[in-house]
Amino acid sequence: MTTPPALTTAADDGTRGFPRDRFTVAIYGTFVVWGWLLYSFNPSVPLLAKDLDLTGAQAGLHGTAMAVGAIVSAALTPRLVRRLGRRTTLMVAGTTLVLGVTLLVLAPALVWTLSGVALLAAGGNTSVSAAQAGLAMHHGPRASAALTEANGVGSAIGLLGPLAVGVTVGIGWGWRPAVAVTGLLMLVTMLMQSRLAVGGAMTPARASGQGAHPDGDVPRSAGWNLPGTCFLLTIVAAIALENATTYWSTDLVIERTGADAGISVATTAGLVAGMTVVRFIVGPLSLRIPPARILATSFLVAIAGWAVLWTATTPALALVGLVIAGFGYGVQYPMSIALLLATADGATDAAQARATLGGGLAIGVAPFALGALADAVGTYQAFVIVPVVAVVGFVMAAIGGRALTRRAAEEADAVVG
């Protein structure tokens, strides 16, 4: 394996920018859709629980439903890309997401909301997985910047999600109209992507019998190495942190500050704002500073933000804590996925599938565990789980970064020898 220089050292002048062509812009649409969905629906979960008279653990099952959808996506996406091609896979995934969102916002009971979430998660994760792998293939050594910017675009649009929920709740419409916007955004994105030519990173379908493996051109075992394993675990930590926080920070703000539901949901926008700002900064920065070093630092920043949020007794201070936490959270997923895909030995879609699976498990466990713990000891005490997960992420990022540096040195020595 050859480690791309931008992962371990400052990139040369040829990799300091990347083209934002028609392919890139259309693929960014997937991140816009997913960002709006996550940041409008996740902070709405406590409101959904109130609508349907659910316990915290029952509400947390929506995270489990997200995980089910992600696990299905992880199993199917590489095969779909191979057999249908990347563009058709994106169309199928988008249609599935729209159906899931429709079921969610029209659902009258828990069984139907869970079904809707599982369906939209399967479609959404497949769409993100196919888009993310394609974007990484399209931009090569500039992938860390492109992927971080793509996620930044998604969170920038997602920033409006909790604000929209706050507005619709405030005027008496509830959370559902804001979440329903997801379907409209996906339809626009599908129209853009359907017009992209097949070929290159928009991988064409393979006829039956072509290619050695169902998930791409290389065995499933490819890419399993120490750096790849570490960065897979940082993805799990990053997704666990983001989803646990967006699901339950609303309850924490209500419990600790006495703010009403509309204001408390709107404070989640602080987290998304921090994530958005930092992504547009660290994308270009990752072409000059090793991404693994940036990633490790981000987990420490997240802990600092948690500390402010956890001790806040006013909505304003809670908002500050969420912004600081966002500065950390915003780096973690895109930088982790860029590092994972770059260490995948060419098995880009297979590595992305592992990331989707790991992320799905994190989504399934973290919000449910935090919700169940909150039922037992209160949201305030339950939030102590957040810095524990962040410490694990920091350790994995540090180990993965050292392994990358060591591998690059060994390869340089081999070339010289």
Among the ranges given (7-21, 35-49, 230-244), the one the predictor scored with the smallest mean pLDDT: 7-21
Mean pLDDT, residues 197-207 taken together: 83
pLDDT of residue 159: 80
Give the closest residue to 294 by CA, choosing from 225, 242, 243, 231.
231
pLDDT of residue 413: 65
pLDDT of residue 362 exceeding 90, the answer is no
Q: What is the mean pLDDT of the chain?
A: 85
pLDDT of residue 321 exceeding 60, the answer is yes
pLDDT of residue 27: 95
pLDDT of residue 414: 66
Local confidence band at 415 (pLDDT 50, 70, 90 cut-offs): low
3-state helix, strand, coil in the chain (%, to 5): 80, 0, 20
Mean pLDDT, residues 352-362 taken together: 85
**Annotation: CATH topology of 19-416:** Growth Hormone; Chain: A; (1.20.1250)
pLDDT of residue 213 exceeding 60, the answer is no
pLDDT of residue 363 exceeding 80, the answer is no
Tell me the C-alpha distance between 6 and 285, whole Å.
Answer: 10
Mean pLDDT, residues 260-270 taken together: 78
pLDDT of residue 370: 80
DSSP string covering 264-310 = HHHHHHHHHHHHHHHHHHHHHHTTTS-HHHHHHHHHHHHHHHHHHHH
Question: For 337-376, what is the HEC assignment?
Answer: HHHHHHCCCCCHHHHHHHHHHHHHHHHHHHHHHHHHHHHH
Eight-class DSSP state of 1: -
pLDDT of residue 92: 97
Among the ranges given (190-194, 195-199, 280-284, 330-334), the one the predictor scored with the smallest mean pLDDT: 280-284
Give the closest residue to 136 by CA, choosing from 188, 203, 208.
203
pLDDT of residue 18 exceeding 60, the answer is yes
Among the ranges given (113-127, 209-223, 263-277, 375-389), the one the predictor scored with the smallest mean pLDDT: 209-223
Give the closest residue to 233 by CA, choosing from 91, 398, 108, 102.
398
- Count of CB atoms within 10 A of residue 196's CB? 19
Mean pLDDT, residues 249-257 taken together: 85
pLDDT of residue 117: 96
Tell me the C-alpha distance between 121 and 104, whole Å.
Answer: 11
Give the closest residue to 79 by CA, choosing from 224, 205, 222.
205
Local confidence band at 128 (pLDDT 50, 70, 90 cut-offs): very high
pLDDT of residue 12 exceeding 60, the answer is no
Q: What are phi and psi of 289, to 5 degrees?
A: -120, 140
Rounded to a whole number of angstroms, the CA Rg of the chain reads 20
Residue 134 contacts residue 202 (beta carbons within 8 Å)? yes
Assigned token pair, 170? 């405030």
Tell me the C-alpha distance between 373 and 350, whole Å.
Answer: 34
Give the closest residue to 73 by CA, choosing from 34, 123, 115.
123
pLDDT of residue 31 exceeding 80, the answer is yes
Assigned token pair, 154? 């998604």
Residue 72 contacts residue 92 (beta carbons within 8 Å)? no
- 32-70: pLDDT as tens digits: 999 999 889 977 888 899 899 988 778 878 878 988 998
Tell me the C-alpha distance between 73 and 132, whole Å.
Answer: 14
pLDDT of residue 284 exceeding 70, the answer is yes
Mean pLDDT, residues 294-315 taken together: 94
Size of the chain in residues: 417
- 331-349: pLDDT as tens digits: 999 999 989 988 877 677 8
User: pTM for this one?
Assistant: 0.77
Residue 382 contacts residue 248 (beta carbons within 8 Å)? yes
Local confidence band at 26 (pLDDT 50, 70, 90 cut-offs): very high
Helices 291-311 and 226-257: crossing angle in degrees, nearest 10, is 20
